Amino acid sequence: MRVRVQVMLKEGVLDPQGEAVRHALGALGFEGVAGVRQGKLIEIDLAATDRAAAEVEVRAMCDRLLANTVIETYRIELVE
């Protein structure tokens, strides 16, 4: 089973990399870019086939390693 984990900075946490990308887009002439947030996409191939069990396991992976919940949030998507 393939699982996608999306890790983003929490709302309200300054994202200097996203800001730099926003400025660069402006410099290229793309107008009307109100904001850019940069995050991470992590794909995990699991041996598990049970969706509920997989989600529990990936949630534990997120809490213990993949995200730092002081500043980040995560979203789990079971892709199959």
Partner 1 sequence: MKAAVITFPGSNCDRDLAVAFAAAGFEVVRVWHKDSDLPSGLDVVGIPGGFSFGDYLRCGAIAARAPIMAAVVRFAEAGGHVLGICNGFQVLCEAGLLPGVLMRNAALRFVCRPARLQVATTDSAFTHLWRPGAEAVIPIAHHDGNYRADAETLARLADEDRIAFRYAENPNGSAADIAGILSQNRRVLGLMPHPERAIDAALGSGDGAFLFRGLAAALAPAETGA
**Residue 64 token pair:** 């213990």
Give whichever of 38 and 78 is closer to partner 1, judged by the CB atom: 38
Given CA atoms 31, 15, 11, 77 in this order, what sign does their dihedral have? positive
Q: Contact positions toward partner 1, by CB under 8 A? A: 13-14, 16-17, 20, 64-66, 68, 70-71
Give whichever of 2 and 68 is closer to partner 1, judged by the CB atom: 68
* Three-state DSSP class for residue 66: helix
Q: How far is the CB of 2 from partner 1 (least distance, A)?
A: 19
Give whichever of 17 and 53 is closer to partner 1, judged by the CB atom: 17
User: Which has the closest alpha carbon to 15: 43, 35, 31?
Assistant: 35
Q: How far is the CB of 22 from partner 1 (least distance, A)?
A: 12
Radius of gyration, CA atoms only, the chain: 16
